[in-house]
């Protein structure tokens, strides 16, 4: 009985961790740079396709493709940042949304053209498949791997943004751009790197997510709502907020679907609306 | 103002109708309404390539008339039946299409039903699979399947094969609910017992909660219906993580869970899944071998699925009907020609039920096995000449008119 | 947010300013006369025309809150779909009279607006976007679950409309549908145009620019926000009702996230806060989509995406916003 519940909680937590990896980059770009980047899913999709192509065509092992997925998405985002995003840093939210929705449309069609409209399944190495059992408890191995990956990413991000010189530069540029410029910081470069970091994380999330949520050209759009929910409830620009929220939403989603499957889909949305009415700036708002 | 506008419009239309060219006697226009883009684009990829293959094999002239296809995308922004209906209207009034084919999804077909009825144009459904669609217009003909056909057959087989209890898991939308009903009815009729059921939300990235519910039920067997796309593999993996594989619990499903893409994702956890379905690319027949070869070339190595074969048959039906009418494109003449038509499809012998205009076909029971290092469906039993049980019941209850329409 | 400062603001008193705005311009007359053209030049495009008019009305309703009050909603389809289901259900129940059905749809959407407005005034910015989205998704799930009432995913079938005014059948060519949608759009436009150019409309723009200061000059922000939100929802409901009546079908899609997002895209494309922005945006988006999809049914998204990117890069603040800026620059030079 207890074992079953612990397994459920664990599954929810692992699912939440996937949501976290997919969304945390958005929290960085939206929260820190104030840029409404609805094309976040596009970068996730780029990461996913990178992994699929390397595994299938070049025969790379799954783990080796992950850094490339990160780099591929980050590099693409740097190019787009240079030609498109940069022009709109000062534009209204609405203009930013329109630009990024345009990018989503282009990327969906391009992916369908290049990779076809079908699903892109991958065969994970045998040691990542299946499950381990400790007495009554049983955990999926891939889910355990996801949890570990998410914890590592969180640790690196928190350390990197709060305890390094680069992190303090980012925070300075975000909090007061003019002052940062005055102090001789290269704000443009800092923004570029931050943006690439956020997109790279999305790419990593896309690669890690194939096993759980699949991959097809519509990926760029399909998970946008989930990403936005995590960022909104967690509070903009808060790594910890995104982490706690993603974990909480994952658990709530799984547990509610287990106990009350009839209203399973309502619960997630209901929780989001209630939390936002209660704390409009998010649970861990860095600033309002 | 309204009257004036309408009067003006009437005048304009009258001039235009008079001026519209008497369309060349030598062509037959077939409008295709499919989800070419968006979430369901892969269905259209399959169907459209099958149509291309048919034309490649059989030429583009029938009964002395040139066949012309007009492709319309109904996939704008998800499923937009208002768009599908408008496209059907435009095909009729602007493109002067003689026949409409396609319809990826049920709501599209249902929304367009009245257009076919009013314009008296045959509408050949090559995918949308809810049972009742054909009862909504006397101009609907279906070459795909009514879902209760394969699923009811599977349920009946399950009971007969000695399975005593089953749990059902379906997606919470039209086709899922249709399948749930079809399986439960047939299974109970055969003496089986339904020990529980659950429906998952249509957008559901993670299935572990449902897998746990299933495990708790300790059922002997489970029936599963999920739409194609990423869900079959996701669900299968969630089951495997809970230790539910065909080795520990009998897994019965529709063809979606065991199609190529899903099997690739699932791996060996899929071994032993039993499905009741209309088509698999491994079906053994000379016609199918040729079909698969042609599709492989067009699809860059991918194998065709039931969407492809349904569209292939749909175009075949249109070609044959045109031959029978000697190129006459009158809607009633074509529909009459289609009724009762029987032919050999890559999936086996099929025919159009003259009473309901729905397909009558063989349903295959298949098991996932390792075939030379690759997972695939192996047919081990079949039920021939299966009709849609839902409409058969309607007929028995006197709820169906002679035209096969709902009363 | 876009700032549209009338240059003459300082020199005119508000009453005269409003009067100047209310005055009907030649270009506007021309625009509305041009909407009749499809009857003459493109009679096989009338169905598309009616759906453009419906989208235009929907975008116009969204403009009220996005462009004028500065509240961005990503869940406006909630009203659209609610209106659509109301109109559809009434017709299905046996009352197929279009105009009363449309009024009922408007009323239903208004009630929904009233109920949700209590939540809306409490929040702003990103949270507001997400809450409107959340409410819309909740309603979508309700409609999906209420299979017995709405037909769920299969859609609401059996909607039968009576002839408009007892005379005009909804025909295959879409003549009645277009005329009907156009008249409703024009009527709604007149009402909203008057509303925008009233002291109420001015107070909305005040809220957009600074919601906190408005109470200080005697204009209670949250009451105004609730009022405009309800009005906006009502007109979105009318648009939804129109779609249900002219297509005689309602699908879950009417409540979807895609529908909400798409209408926002149309509005921003045209230019928010300009009354005509939604109309122009709907026209260009729908025509472009129709033409691109005809040319390239599989990959037209690519070209539509490029169009959006190009517009935003070359014409910030949407087509009308960009054109206005170019025009101003050209005038200055002249």
At A288, is the pLDDT very low, low, confident or very high (cuts 50, 70, 90)? very low
Pair of tokens at residue B234: 């996701």
Nearest one of C180, C186, C317 to C244, comparing CA atoms:
C180
Element spanning B81, H or E = helix B81-93
Chains near C with 3+ CB pairs less than 8 A apart are: A, B
Comparing A151 with B406, the larger pLDDT belongs to A151
Kindly tell me if the per-residue pLDDT of A38 is higher than 60.
yes
Please tell me the distance from the alpha carbon of residue B282 to that of residue B289, in angstroms, as a whole number. Answer: 8
The predicted structure's pLDDT at residue C12: 58
CB count in 10 Å sphere of residue A96: 23
At A286, is the pLDDT very low, low, confident or very high (cuts 50, 70, 90)? low
Question: B41 vs C298: CB contact, 8 Å cut-off?
Answer: yes
The predicted structure's pLDDT at residue A162: 82
DSSP letter (8 states) at residue C68:
I
Alpha helices in B166-247 (DSSP H): 174-189, 208-217, 231-241
Chains near B with 3+ CB pairs less than 8 A apart are: A, C
Instruction: Find the mean pLDDT for residues B349-354.
Output: 95
Comparing B50 with B206, the larger pLDDT belongs to B50
Plot region of A184 (φ>0 → left; ψ -120 to 50 → alpha; else → beta): left
Nearest one of A118, C10, C39 to B1, comparing CA atoms:
C39
Please tell me the distance from the alpha carbon of residue A158 to that of residue A27, in angstroms, as a whole number. Answer: 13
Collapsed DSSP state (helix, strand, coil) of residue B76: coil
Kindly tell me if the per-residue pLDDT of B77 is higher than 80.
no
Spatial contact of A231 and A23, defined as CB atoms under 8 Å apart = yes
Please tell me the distance from the alpha carbon of residue C179 to that of residue C186, in angstroms, as a whole number. Answer: 10
Gap from B199 CA to chain A (nearest CA, Å): 7
Please tell me the distance from the alpha carbon of residue C174 to that of residue B368, in angstroms, as a whole number. Answer: 51
Best residue in B21, B23, B84, B90 for a mutation probing chain C (most C CBs within 10 Å): B90
The predicted structure's pLDDT at residue A150: 93
pLDDT per residue over B35-68, tens digit each? 998 888 888 999 999 999 999 999 999 988 999 9
Measured over the CA atoms of residue C225, residue C228, residue C234 and residue C240, the dihedral's sign is negative
The predicted structure's pLDDT at residue B79: 64
pLDDT per residue over A251-261, tens digit each? 998 999 898 88
Question: C144 vs B172: CB contact, 8 Å cut-off?
Answer: yes
Whether A237 contacts chain C with CB within 8 A: no
Kindly tell me if the per-residue pLDDT of B20 is higher than 60.
no
Percent of chain A at pLDDT > 90 equals 40
Residues of C in contact with A266 (CB under 8 A): 138, 141-142
Question: A273 vs C135: CB contact, 8 Å cut-off?
Answer: yes
The predicted structure's pLDDT at residue C11: 54
Residues of B in contact with A211 (CB under 8 A): 237
Strand partners, B67: B28
For C96-119, b/e burial (b = at least 16 CB within 10 A) is bbbeebbebbbebbbbbbeebbeb
Please tell me the distance from the alpha carbon of residue B295 to that of residue B302, in angstroms, as a whole number. Answer: 8
Please tell me the distance from the alpha carbon of residue C177 to that of residue B2, in angstroms, as a whole number. Answer: 11
Please tell me the distance from the alpha carbon of residue A254 to that of residue A139, in angstroms, as a whole number. Answer: 15
Please tell me the distance from the alpha carbon of residue C81 to that of residue A135, in angstroms, as a whole number. Answer: 51
Pair of tokens at residue A197: 């970091």
For residue C186, how far is the Cα from the chain centroid?
A: 12
At C8, is the pLDDT very low, low, confident or very high (cuts 50, 70, 90)? very low
> How much is the mean pLDDT over chain A?
88
**Secondary structure (DSSP) of B281-330:** TT---HHHHHHHHHHHHHTTTPPP-HHHHHHHHHHHHHHHHHHHTTT---
Give the HSE-up count for residue B91: Cα atoms under 13 Å, Cβ half-sphere.
Answer: 35
ipTM for the predicted complex: 0.89
Percent of chain B at pLDDT > 90 equals 65
CB count in 10 Å sphere of residue C187: 12
The predicted structure's pLDDT at residue B25: 66
**How many pairs of residues across A and C have Cβ atoms under 8 Å apart?**
128
Q: Which residue has the tokens 């746990």?
A: B212
pLDDT per residue over B224-260, tens digit each? 999 877 888 888 888 888 888 888 899 999 998 998 8
Nearest one of C114, C121, C74, C63 to C234, comparing CA atoms:
C114
Strand partners, B370: B375
Sequence-distant (6+) residues with CB within 8 A of B287 are B344, B345, B346
Question: C249 vs B37: CB contact, 8 Å cut-off?
Answer: no
Comparing C168 with B76, the larger pLDDT belongs to C168
Strand partners, B345: B348
pLDDT per residue over C252-272, tens digit each? 889 998 899 999 999 999 998
Question: C155 vs B111: CB contact, 8 Å cut-off?
Answer: yes
CB count in 10 Å sphere of residue B56: 12
- Residue C319 sits at φ, ψ, to 5 deg, of -60, -45
Nearest one of B344, B339, B337, B309 to B323, comparing CA atoms:
B337
Q: Judging by beta carbons within 10 Å of its beta carbon (0-12, 13-18, 19+), is residue B60 exposed, middle or buried?
A: middle
- Residue C171 sits at φ, ψ, to 5 deg, of -95, 170
Question: A15 vs B199: CB contact, 8 Å cut-off?
Answer: no
Pair of tokens at residue C178: 């277009």
Please tell me the distance from the alpha carbon of residue B317 to that of residue B123, in angstroms, as a whole number. Answer: 11
Strand partners, B72: B33
Closest CA in chain A for residue C322: A95
The predicted structure's pLDDT at residue B354: 93
Spatial contact of C47 and C177, defined as CB atoms under 8 Å apart = yes
Kindly tell me if the per-residue pLDDT of B4 is higher than 80.
no
The predicted structure's pLDDT at residue B277: 95
Pair of tokens at residue A83: 């030609």
Residues of C in contact with B37 (CB under 8 A): 293, 297-301
At B23, is the pLDDT very low, low, confident or very high (cuts 50, 70, 90)? very low
pLDDT per residue over C15-71, tens digit each? 777 777 778 888 888 999 888 888 888 888 999 999 999 999 999 999 999 988 888
Residues of B in contact with A2 (CB under 8 A): none
Kindly tell me if the per-residue pLDDT of B122 is higher than 50.
yes
Whether A280 contacts chain C with CB within 8 A: yes
What's the angle, vertex CA C68, arms to CA C4 and CA C239, rounded to 5? Answer: 130
pLDDT per residue over C127-161, tens digit each? 898 999 999 999 999 998 888 898 888 889 888 88
pTM: 0.90
Spatial contact of B62 and B72, defined as CB atoms under 8 Å apart = no
Residues of A in contact with B198 (CB under 8 A): 261
Residues of C in contact with B227 (CB under 8 A): none
Question: C306 vs A106: CB contact, 8 Å cut-off?
Answer: yes
Residues of C in contact with A109 (CB under 8 A): 299-303, 305
Kindly tell me if the per-residue pLDDT of C206 is higher than 50.
yes
CB count in 10 Å sphere of residue B397: 9
Sequence-distant (6+) residues with CB within 8 A of B193 are B164, B165, B166
For B285-303, b/e burial (b = at least 16 CB within 10 A) is eeebeebbebbeebbeebb
Question: Minimum mean pLDDT among A275-284, B144-153, B160-169, B348-357: which range?
Answer: A275-284
Kindly tell me if the per-residue pLDDT of C104 is higher than 80.
yes
pLDDT per residue over C280-304, tens digit each? 999 999 999 889 988 888 888 899 9
The predicted structure's pLDDT at residue B161: 92
Gap from B389 CA to chain A (nearest CA, Å): 27
Comparing B366 with C333, the larger pLDDT belongs to B366
Rounded to 10 degrees, what is the CA torsion of C222, C223, C228, C229?
A: 60
pLDDT per residue over A44-53, tens digit each? 999 999 999 9
């Amino acid at each position: 009985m207890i074992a079953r519940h612990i397994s459920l909680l664990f599954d929810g937590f692992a699912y939440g961790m996937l949501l976290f990896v997919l969304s945390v980059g958005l929290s960085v770009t939206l929260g820190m740079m104030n840029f409404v980047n609805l094309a976040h899913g596009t970068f996730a999709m780029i990461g996913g396709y990178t992994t699929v192509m390397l595994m299938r065509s070049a025969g790379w092992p799954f783990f080796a493709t992950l850094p490339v997925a990160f780099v591929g998405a980050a590099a693409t985002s740097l190019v787009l940042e240079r030609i498109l995003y940069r022009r709109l840093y000062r534009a209204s939210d609405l203009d930013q949304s329109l630009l990024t929705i345009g990018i989503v449309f282009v990327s969906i069609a391009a992916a369908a053209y290049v990779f076809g409209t079908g699903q892109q399944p991958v065969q994970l190495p045998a040691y990542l498949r299946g499950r381990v059992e400790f007495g009554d408890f049983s955990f999926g191995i891939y889910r355990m791997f996801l949890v570990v990956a998410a914890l590592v990413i969180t640790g690196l991000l928190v350390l990197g943004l709060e305890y390094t010189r680069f992190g303090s530069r980012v925070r300075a540029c975000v909090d007061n751009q003019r002052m940062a410029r005055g102090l001789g910081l290269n704000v443009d470069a800092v923004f570029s790197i931050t943006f690439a970091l956020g997109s790279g994380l999305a790419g990593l999330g896309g690669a890690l997510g194939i096993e759980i949520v699949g991959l097809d050209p519509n990926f760029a759009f399909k998970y946008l709502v989930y990403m936005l929910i995590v960022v909104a409830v967690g509070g903009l620009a808060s790594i910890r907020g995104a982490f706690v929220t993603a974990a909480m939403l994952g658990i709530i989603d799984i547990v509610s679907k287990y106990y009350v499957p009839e209203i399973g889909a309502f619960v997630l949305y209901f929780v989001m609306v209630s939390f936002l009415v209660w704390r409009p700036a998010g649970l861990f708002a860095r600033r309002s | 103002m309204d009257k004036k506008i309408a009067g003006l419009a009437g005048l304009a239309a009258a001039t235009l109708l008079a001026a519209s060219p008497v369309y060349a006697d030598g062509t037959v226009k077939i409008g295709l309404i499919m989800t070419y883009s968006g979430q369901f684009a892969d269905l259209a990829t399959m169907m459209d390539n099958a149509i291309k293959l048919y034309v490649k094999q059989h030429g583009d002239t029938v009964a002395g008339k040139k066949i012309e296809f007009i492709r319309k995308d109904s996939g704008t922004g998800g499923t937009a039946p208002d768009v599908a209906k408008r496209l059907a209207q435009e095909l009729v009034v602007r493109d002067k299409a003689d026949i409409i084919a396609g319809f990826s999804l049920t709501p599209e077909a249902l929304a367009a039903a009245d257009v076919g009825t009013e314009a008296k144009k045959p509408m050949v459904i090559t995918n949308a699979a809810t049972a009742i669609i054909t009862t909504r217009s006397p101009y609907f003909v279906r070459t795909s399947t009514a879902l209760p056909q394969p699923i009811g057959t599977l349920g009946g087989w399950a009971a007969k094969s000695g399975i005593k209890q089953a749990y059902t898991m379906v997606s919470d939308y039209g086709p899922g609910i249709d399948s749930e009903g079809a399986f439960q009815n047939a299974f109970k009729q055969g003496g089986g017992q339904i020990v529980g059921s659950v429906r998952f939300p249509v957008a559901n990235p993670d299935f572990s909660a449902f897998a746990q519910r299933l495990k708790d039920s300790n059922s002997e067997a489970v029936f599963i219906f999920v739409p194609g796309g990423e869900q079959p593999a996701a669900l299968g993996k969630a089951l495997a993580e809970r230790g539910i594989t065909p080795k520990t619990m009998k897994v019965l499903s529709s063809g979606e869970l065991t199609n190529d893409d899903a099997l690739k994702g699932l791996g060996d956890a899929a071994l032993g899944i039993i499905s009741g379905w209309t088509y698999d690319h491994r079906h053994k027949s000379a016609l199918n071998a040729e079909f698969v070869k042609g599709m492989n070339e067009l699809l860059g190595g991918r194998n065709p699925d039931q969407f492809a074969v349904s569209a292939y048959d749909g175009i075949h039906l249109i070609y044959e009907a045109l031959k029978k009418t000697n190129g006459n494109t009158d809607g009633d003449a074509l529909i009459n020609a289609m009724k009762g038509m029987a032919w050999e499809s890559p999936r086996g012998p099929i025919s159009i039920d003259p009473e309901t205009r729905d397909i009558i076909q063989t349903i295959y029971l298949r098991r996932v096995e390792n075939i030379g290092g690759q997972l695939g469906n192996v047919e081990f039993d079949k039920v021939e000449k299966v009709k849609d049980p839902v409409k058969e019941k309607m007929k028995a209850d006197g709820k169906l008119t002679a035209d096969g329409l709902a009363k | 947010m876009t700032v549209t400062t009338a240059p003459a603001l300082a020199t005119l008193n508000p009453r005269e300013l409003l009067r100047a705005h209310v005055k009907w311009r030649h270009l506007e007359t021309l625009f509305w006369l041009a909407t009749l053209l499809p009857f003459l030049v493109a009679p096989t495009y009338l169905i598309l025309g009616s759906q453009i008019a419906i989208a235009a009305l929907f975008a116009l309703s969204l403009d009220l809150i996005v462009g004028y009050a500065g509240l961005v909603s990503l869940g406006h389809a909630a009203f659209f779909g609610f209106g659509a289901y109301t109109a559809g259900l009434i017709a299905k129940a046996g009352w197929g009279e279009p105009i009363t059905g449309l009024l009922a749809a408007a009323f239903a959407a208004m009630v929904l607006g009233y109920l949700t407005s209590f939540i809306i005034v409490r929040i702003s910015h990103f949270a507001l976007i997400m809450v409107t989205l959340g409410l819309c998704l909740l309603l979508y799930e309700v409609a999906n679950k209420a299979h017995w009432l709405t037909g769920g995913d299969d859609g609401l079938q059996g909607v039968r409309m009576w002839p408009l005014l007892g005379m005009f059948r909804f025909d295959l060519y879409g003549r009645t549908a277009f005329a009907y949608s156009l008249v409703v759009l024009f009527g709604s436009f007149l009402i909203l145009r008057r509303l925008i150019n009233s002291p109420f409309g001015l107070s909305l723009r005040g809220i957009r620019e600074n919601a906190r200061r408005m109470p200080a000059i005697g204009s209670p922000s949250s009451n105004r926000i609730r009022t405009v939100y309800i009005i906006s929802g009502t007109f979105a409901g009318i648009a939804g009702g129109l779609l249900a009546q002219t297509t005689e079908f309602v699908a879950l899609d009417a409540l979807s996230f895609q529908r909400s997002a798409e209408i926002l895209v149309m509005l921003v494309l045209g230019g928010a806060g300009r009354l005509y922005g939604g109309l122009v945006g709907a026209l260009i988006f729908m025509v472009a989509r129709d033409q691109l999809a005809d040319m390239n049914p599989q990959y037209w998204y690519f070209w539509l995406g490029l169009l959006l990117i190009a517009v935003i890069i070359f014409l910030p603040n949407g087509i009308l916003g960009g054109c206005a800026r170019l025009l101003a620059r050209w005038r200055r030079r002249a």
